[in-house]
Chains A and B, each alone.
Chain A
Amino acid sequence: MSNNDITLGKDRFRRDIPQTTSLSRTSQGSVALPKVLVLTGYGINCEEETAKAFELSGGLPTIVHINDLIENPKMLNDYQIMAFPGGFSYGDDTGSGNALANKIKNNIEKEILDFAKQDKLIIGICNGFQILTNLGLVPAKENKYGDRQAVLMHNAHARYECRWVKLKNTSQKCIWTRNIDTLHCPIAHGEGNFYAEKEVIDSLIKNDQIAFKYIKDDDSPANQEFPFNPNGAMLDIAGICDESGRIFGLMPHPERFNSFTNEDGWTLEKEKLLREGKELPTLGKGLQVFKNAIEYFTK
């Protein structure tokens, strides 16, 4: 068994217990493990696998209910990373990600903006990306955090779509996509059609903020062609970051590619490896996104 192997039981993360110390040390005493606040509540539903992905990547995740965060926003000081997982917050009522963003704005807008402006990391996946855009944390052109500048609209074919897509990292700046050239990754959403006005798009390009684009199997641009670009997003945009590269929103779900056996078509790869006499990998390539965030603090 390689050291990548997952051990049963021992690593179940805690929920909802605020930490008092900001950084801990491992038994080796060498590297501090960053703490990750994984948000949940009101229909967010990918919090467990998102927390697990951070844990498998060397982080210390805690799942925190939005109401507990509202009650005690100071707990944000204890964390280096904040994750808005995927799901169906408020059932997409009044627009995907809108109602949860409203809840945050109505209660702890200042604290979240403070967190965003510090040297900390934020990720929003799928519904989390929709929340980030409604909170104005991405793209935050001219560092106008809190300003809604982009929107994720109904998929062009107007239906919820669940499938695997191929992504190309096109940003040098984004911390979350480091060490990734292309990535096979699942999507599952009804509203992933990225739209922004021209000046916002221009500045995204200019400031190297487009982190993931949908591409075809041969790595050529998807050019909005279904199913490679599954939702009709402008410029095939699958994920963007803020101007600093610390805050990242994406429609695909890298946390769902945590194991070798998650990947679409893994049984063909298995058969190939077996016939070549090679070992099967255990972990999934999607974890690189989370490792990048951890390594930002540990390397």
Chain B
Amino acid sequence: MAHRIEVITHVNDTRSEVMRKNLVSEGFAIETAKVLEVYTVNKNFNSEEIKKIAEILSNPISQRFKINEPFKDIDFDFALEIGFLPGVTDNIATTAKESIEGLTKQSFIEEESLHTSTLIFLKGKITEEDTKKIGNILANKLIQRISVKDKTSFEKDDGMGLSIPKVHLSSEIEITKVDLNISEEELLKLGKEGILNHDGTRRGPLALEKDYLYAIKQYFEKEGRSPTDIELESLAQTWSEHCKHTIFAAEIDESERTARARASEESGSASSKQRELINKDGLYKGYIKKATIDIRNKKGKDDFCVSVFSDNSGAIIFDENYLITDKAETHNSPSALDPFGGAITGIVGVNRDTIGFGKGAKPVLNKYGFCVGLPNDEEPIYRDKDLKEASLAPKRIFEGVIAGVNAGGNQSGIPTPQGFSYFHKDYKGKPLIFVGTVGLIPKMINGKPSHEKSAHKGDKIVMIGGRVGQDGIHGATFSSETLSAESPATAVQIGDPITQKKFSDAIIKEAREMDLYNSITDDGAGGLSSSVSEMAKECGGCEVDLDKVPLKYPNLEPWKIWISESQERMTLSIPEEKLEKFIDLMNRRGVEATVIGTFTDSGKCILKYKDEKIMDISMDFLHNGLPKKTLRTTYTKIEREEKALKEPENLTTTLLELLKNPNIASTEFIPRQYDHGVQGGAVLGPLHGKGRVMSPASVTKPMIETTKGAVCSQGLYPKYSEIDTYDMAACSIDTAVRNSIAIGGKLSHMALMDNFCWCSSTEPERLGQLSSAAKACYDYAVAYGTPYISGKDSMFNDFNGFDKNGNAIKISAPPTLLISSLSVMDDVTKAVSLDTKFAGDLVYILGETKDELAGSEYFPEGKNVPKVDALSAKKLYEKVEKAILKNMIASALSPSHGGLAATFAKKTIAGQLGMEIDLNKIPREKDLQRNDFILFSETQSRFVVTIDPKKKEEFEKLFESESFACVGQVLDSQKFTIKGITDKTIIDTDIKTLEEAYKSTFKNY
């Protein structure tokens, strides 16, 4: 018999109060909300036992419980219960089960189970329909179920009743052969919508294009048989854009200019400039990877790269004994459907890219970047023509992804000192959710270089961590498609950070040093199909028994087991003689570890299910069989006009409005809820100064016992993309680099990562924009000597759906490039924060201000988007670095979104000291003679710094050959004034007014 335990909190019931407030703010007339926890224990216990169980699942001081009967003293109109759908991970239930087993010394056997749910009693002027609506807001119907009862039926039924969500899958497991001798139309449909089920439905996108399908057809014709379903699914996973980055690998036939250059080359008359244009190697090899190769060659013995592009993360030298790794990922599609789930699995997933680097690096800091629609945009859009499947509003996506990274990062014990939020109307259809992790690993482990690993023939294939279920089926192929009504619900995943924390500790802190495995990798996109077949490349083959894979529930079809993206798993290659010791260690750490097969050198990837061979594909075809694409690109730059813009009469108002712009305003509520102190190495985190201003860069000591720090920053300018993607990329790079320099980063020990999030990447124009941005990536990385060590691309950030009138719409995310920088500074005590320090300090601007207003937060239109002169910037950066090392700079911040005006204001708010500035003194282009242009132009490669007046001479001498000037000073008052170029005061306000504006936009978040 099953039991139902309900737990109520009777003192300080914050959760219920928050629930009431939230529902009221959603517009429901709720007087009271009461939130209860429910445990449904599907196992027989006597009354004594179940009472003891209820006691350990509740708190005797703040809570009370009822067993198999409802609380009768709650005043309510409707009861709403939210539980999980069958098969969805229920973390609390797993923990509760363990506690119960420990208490009773009885195990839950196969048919027994435990489930949790949340019961909410609502009182107020609401209807049953309202309650259902509330349920749909609180629950995510892709993973949760709701049930509603009014008071009468609740009392009649004596409560909500017992409900046990168990998965029942058909026990008939069959392996389907897929006939490829079908019409081209059918073949294409197979690629787009998936394998046909018996009932006429299809299994979901394979994302296989025509030439891929024909390559597969040809292979199996040669083999003389039809492929099995699992073979086809496996190829689709392995060849997906998400896994193979086919667009970045494709040969690029770029623009007409390039075509002309090609013709000239063939005729032998190409100029060197023309030769440069031709890129036969594609974007990745020809630009990104080439930048790294060229930089490393030039650096020679000063090269600090150790492992680039080949592993789950990239690694550079940290100090003589350690390497530091970096990786950034996106989790855009899942986050659009389920923001919390998408973000938590994103952050916990990128942690595994750290744990899966080399022999296993320890995650030492997390980073985030949320690009979402405008937070006040509530105009609904729909995925389907019948307007039944509404997309989530940008604000809900924003709040959901914040909560997801909160749960994932905080629970994993990894600090999050670095991140940003960016808003643009075109992120409404598909948000971009960036997550990144920096890791640390000793250079040598057990006398071997830690970044080298290889599965050996005969090693056992061992899977550790979570079990496999239906979650995340088709995640990799789905990410390679645009978001539409066909997007599979099962692509959603639930994160379980504690399961991962357990194996992460067991691997990095114990098994690694015990030398128990030869290779390790993450089970990410594509699940086992990807991890096992990638590792099998190291030895030349594998043989897997899929029925050995531990499942969340029985009778999962083999193809699903193979490609499921169930979270928190890794795959290891373990020599037979170390197997027992490894499994024993894992079990002692509460980690499930299972042998699922053997690595071989057969040249084949073989899968078996209950002794039947269900997949037998050559490793070579699996990994190299996909035809190389040739992409045709065009890039027509629209001849834009510099629009006339009237100078505002009251620039104080303009500045205050700008500080409220969500892309400039404080989102302090995010870092406040992200632990940025855990691991004990915080140096300069997300908020600086007494005024708590958001910093674009951070410094963290990954080891308490050193003085060395990891300096991180990020840069992106989506608004520049529509004007010029080349300059957009240049500015992103420059920003990531100079933010790092401003806080104390070291240019000669700085690496970059590129995360391209593009849209409509089959259209030649978009590809032309992409190619241009990638070229800038080469040019600027080489100019700064900052190699790329890792990167990722996501090429289809488009939404195809319908507006509220049922008209088809397409919303494409603006072409976005996130550049992340990672630098190592030798002595963290040299780090410089952005807040002004003392009254009387002098304010300097380093670098020239130009008429580059276009695409700015002040004036998002126009033509003159900022351009970067890397050679002069590099000279300046090296001097800033020197000045910081000599303790000459008391505070520093480099202008980016919002220009100089936002920078002055932020420094003032942070230091809580007044400031006066004279615009006339600002070094600028000769013909730049407008106050607003000087204030808001987002010209790159500049710094605003304050210095101790005693250091004036020394400081000015160092910068004498640069464009720089003393433009004002820090005041011992609350005043903030800026004198315009005609000597008239154009901005006159105070710290409090600035601070209120800066902190107003997200005040109620």
CB-contact partner of A195 in B12, B15, B18, B590, under 8 A: B12
| B127 interface residue (CB < 8 Å to A) | no
A288 to chain B, nearest CB (A): 15
| A271 interface residue (CB < 8 Å to B) | yes
26 sampled A-B residue pairs with Cβ under 8 A: A7-B705, A8-B319, A16-B510, A42-B498, A48-B680, A52-B680, A88-B498, A91-B496, A93-B91, A94-B56, A94-B57, A95-B58, A102-B99, A105-B56, A148-B59, A151-B61, A153-B9, A158-B14, A158-B17, A160-B406, A160-B674, A162-B677, A163-B672, A267-B835, A268-B689, A280-B829
- Neighbouring A residues of B671 by C-beta, 8 Å: 162
| A4 interface residue (CB < 8 Å to B) | no
| B831 interface residue (CB < 8 Å to A) | yes
Asked if B838 contacts A271 (CB within 8 A), the reply is: yes
The CA of A155 and the CA of B103, in the complex, are separated in Å by: 29
Asked if B15 contacts A160 (CB within 8 A), the reply is: no
Asked if B102 contacts A45 (CB within 8 A), the reply is: no
The CA of A16 and the CA of B749, in the complex, are separated in Å by: 36
Name which of B501, B680, B689 has the most chain A CB atoms within 10 A of its CB: B680
Contacts A7-B705, A188-B675; is A153 near B12 (CB within 8 Å)?
Answer: yes
Asked if A99 contacts B99 (CB within 8 A), the reply is: yes
Q: How many residues of A contact B (CB 8 A)?
A: 77
A276 to chain B, nearest CB (A): 11
Asked if B673 contacts A160 (CB within 8 A), the reply is: yes
Asked if A99 contacts B98 (CB within 8 A), the reply is: yes
A261 to chain B, nearest CB (A): 5
The CA of A163 and the CA of B832, in the complex, are separated in Å by: 20
The CA of A275 and the CA of B839, in the complex, are separated in Å by: 13
- Neighbouring A residues of B411 by C-beta, 8 Å: 43, 88, 91-92
- Neighbouring A residues of B867 by C-beta, 8 Å: none
Asked if B61 contacts A150 (CB within 8 A), the reply is: yes
Q: Within B658-687, which residues are at the interface with A (CB < 8 Å)? A: 671-684
Asked if A91 contacts B14 (CB within 8 A), the reply is: no
| Chain A interface residues (CB < 8 Å from chain B) | 6-9, 11, 15-16, 40-43, 45-46, 48-49, 52-53, 56, 65, 67-68, 71, 86-88, 90-95, 98-99, 102-103, 105-107, 134, 148-151, 153-156, 158-163, 186, 188, 193, 195-197, 232, 253, 255-256, 258-262, 265, 267-268, 270-272, 274-275, 280
Per-residue contact bits, chain B 604-629, to A (CB 8 Å; 1 contact, 0 not): 00000000000000000000000000
- Total residue contacts A-B, CB cutoff 8 A: 209
The CA of A7 and the CA of B590, in the complex, are separated in Å by: 35
| Chain B interface residues (CB < 8 Å from chain A) | 9, 11-12, 14-15, 17-18, 56-62, 91-92, 94-96, 98-99, 102-103, 319, 321, 406, 410-413, 496-498, 501-502, 505, 509-510, 588-590, 671-684, 688-690, 701, 704-706, 828-829, 831-833, 835, 837-838, 887, 890-891, 948, 950
With both beta carbons as reference points, the residue of chain A lying nearest to B406 in the complex is identified as A160
CB-contact partner of A262 in B509, B683, B837, under 8 A: B683
Name which of B57, B410, B509 has the most chain A CB atoms within 10 A of its CB: B410
- Neighbouring A residues of B413 by C-beta, 8 Å: 43, 45-46, 87-88
The CA of A79 and the CA of B102, in the complex, are separated in Å by: 26
The CA of A53 and the CA of B679, in the complex, are separated in Å by: 11
B634 to chain A, nearest CB (A): 49
Asked if A274 contacts B887 (CB within 8 A), the reply is: yes
Name which of A67, A256, A258 has the most chain B CB atoms within 10 A of its CB: A256
What 7 A-B pairs are tightest by C-beta distance, nearest first?
Answer: A45-B413, A49-B680, A106-B102, A93-B95, A154-B14, A267-B833, A91-B498
- Neighbouring A residues of B95 by C-beta, 8 Å: 90-91, 93-94, 99
The CA of A153 and the CA of B62, in the complex, are separated in Å by: 8
Asked if B675 contacts A94 (CB within 8 A), the reply is: no
- Neighbouring B residues of A48 by C-beta, 8 Å: 679-680
Asked if B412 contacts A45 (CB within 8 A), the reply is: yes
- Neighbouring B residues of A275 by C-beta, 8 Å: 838, 948, 950
Asked if B828 contacts A68 (CB within 8 A), the reply is: no
The CA of A154 and the CA of B58, in the complex, are separated in Å by: 14
